[in-house]
Amino acid sequence: MKLREFGEFGLIDRIAGRVSRKSGVRTGIGDDAAVVELSSGCITLVTSDMLVEGVHFDLALCDPHTLGRKSLAVNLSDIAAMGGRPRHFLLSFALPESLSVEFFDGFVKGLLDLADEFDVALVGGDTCASRDGLVISVTVMGEQLPGRIINRHGAQPGDLIFVTGNLGDSALGLRLLRNGERMGPVVMKHLDPSPRVREGLELAEAGIPTAMIDVSDGLLADLGHILDLSGVGARVDLAKVPLSDSFIERQAAFEGDPFLLPLAGGEDYELLFTAPSIKMEAAGVLLGRLGTRLSVIGEVTAGGGMQVVAVDGSDYRPVARGYNHFSCVN
Ligand code: ADP
Ligand code: MG
């Protein structure tokens, strides 16, 4: 069956019927606006990300369930990068009328499964028809005490630069998908990234990061945002950039610079943060307890832009810094 047979309100009912009750929601789906509560003393963090068929995803390469998960995950990652706790979200989409109801249901199930994992409530959205491709927009609202929020602009000279997890898997996974692979850890890191919500929240609550961002456009591009906004420079050691065993094993099949994807591939959804060296041990203990890898990849400098040191100690010249809509660098 195709979506055109359900109509707008039939589809909204299909979503509303699957939403589980969550705390803090006074009025959810079904009224003109949602009414939600914040925890005592907290302020709101709001973020929105759009996924456009043909730009962010290819329906031939993804299944609806993981696409639903990823649509929420990329937004949760932005709340995590501010040290916030995600609470509520809106789902808006433009749907081709020819889309199957199985696809729609799979998408909604994936999205709501991830929402349950992170205890965030779907409280509204907008549903309309699309004449040309699927467009998904998710807006997440999170909360935090004002003094605990971590911005991009707080990096200080002498701070160490930390990154969670591994870099480059997602971009390599996309290449493997385009080559016909559908499974494996690298491919799944691209299709179903895990937002570092607990990591971001606990780091912020422990007062560790001076600046933080999630790596969505590529390490160098996103570190560049921290440096620009903080008015500082950095030295990054390529030898310390964390790579997964699967990445090392699989990337050998591709020619060219092996560091291109870890430095500029994007969609890693790991957390990149700066913190003074005295916090290094605390950060390691905290991430260790969560079972998440943590690496120190360099140091913040007073100026001098971004210097990348190659494994042999020479100056490394990146061929690309990251993904940028409208400029097409990779
Ligand atoms: P309005 O005409 O006031 O914009 P709608 O008819 O668009 O209201 O939506 C009716 C209700 O359904 C609202 O509460 C809205 O937030 C919710 N809603 C619409 N689309 C979605 C969706 N895709 N996901 C969740 N809630 C939705
Ligand atoms: Mg509406």
Q: Which residue has the higher pLDDT, 326 or 321?
A: 321
* Closest listed ligand to the CA of 93: 1
Distance CA 97, CA 52 (A): 16
| Confidence at 328, pLDDT banded by 50, 70, 90 | very low
In which band, very low, low, confident or very high, does the pLDDT at 277 lie, cut at 50, 70 and 90? Answer: very high
- Measured by CA distance, the residue closest to atom 27 of ligand 1 is 125
Q: Which residue has the higher pLDDT, 257 or 161?
A: 161
As given in the structure block, the two tokens for residue 188 are 């799944």
Q: Which of 3, 25, 126, 137 to mutate to test the pocket of ligand 1 (most atoms within 8 A of CB)?
A: 126
Residue 227 has pLDDT above 70, yes or no: yes
Q: How far is the CA of 80 from the centre of ligand 2 (A)?
A: 28
CA angle 280–283–288, rounded 5-degree value: 125
Q: Per-residue pLDDT averaged across 294-311, rounded?
A: 94
What is the per-residue pLDDT for 6?
84
> For 144, what's the count of Cα atoms within 13 Å in the CB-facing half-sphere?
26
pLDDT at site 283: 98
Ligand 1 atom 10: residue of nearest CA: 30
Cα–Cα distance, 53 to 135 (Å, whole number): 6
Q: Is 31 in the pocket of ligand 1 (CB under 6 A)?
A: yes
Is residue 29 in contact with ligand 1, taking CB distance under 6 Å?
Answer: yes
Distance from C-alpha of 65 to C-alpha of 58, rounded to nearest angstrom: 14
What mean pLDDT is predicted for residues 306-326?
81
**Residue labelled with tokens 């109801």:** 101
Q: Report the chain's C-alpha Rg in angstroms.
A: 20
From 22, 27, 31, 127, give the residue whose CB has the most ligand 1 atoms within 8 Å, as the site to mutate: 127
Cite the DSSP H helix spans in the chain. 7-16, 64-80, 101-117, 169-178, 185-191, 197-205, 219-230, 245-251, 260-264, 280-289
Check pLDDT > 60 for residue 330. no
Q: Which helix (H) or strand (E) element contains residue 88?
A: strand 85-96
Segment 169-190 mean pLDDT: 94
Residue that is written with structure tokens 């005592």 in the block:
40
Is the pLDDT assigned to residue 131 strictly greater than 80? yes
| Residue 262: CB atoms within 10 Å | 27
pTM value? 0.95
The pLDDT, as a whole number, for residue 168 is 97
Question: Is 70 exceeded by the pLDDT of residue 48?
Answer: yes
Nearest listed ligand to the Cα of residue 11: 1
Strand pairing of 121-130 and 135-144?
unpaired
Run of H or E including 279: none
For residues 231-246, give the mean pLDDT. Answer: 97
| Tens-place pLDDT, residues 57-107 | 999 888 999 999 999 999 999 999 999 999 999 999 999 998 999 999 999
The residues near 132 (Cβ < 8 Å, ≥ 6 apart) are: 96
CA-proximal residue: ligand 1, atom 3 (nearest): 32
Q: Is 125 in the pocket of ligand 1 (CB under 6 A)?
A: yes
- Position 324 scores a pLDDT of 63
User: For residues 119 and 57, is the Cβ–Cβ distance under 8 A?
Assistant: no
Q: What is each CA distance from 270 to 18, 42, 203, 214, 217, in whole angstroms?
A: 30, 25, 13, 6, 11
Question: Using 50, 70 and 90 to split pLDDT, how confident is the model at 325?
Answer: low
9 Cβ inside 6 Å of ligand 1 = no
pLDDT in tens, 8-23: 888 999 999 999 888 8
Residues measured by CB to lie within 5 Å of ligand 2, the ion: 126
In a 10 Å sphere around its CB, with 0-12 CB exposed, 13-18 middle and 19+ buried, how is residue 314 labelled? exposed
Residue 318, pLDDT > 80, answer no
- pLDDT score, position 329: 38
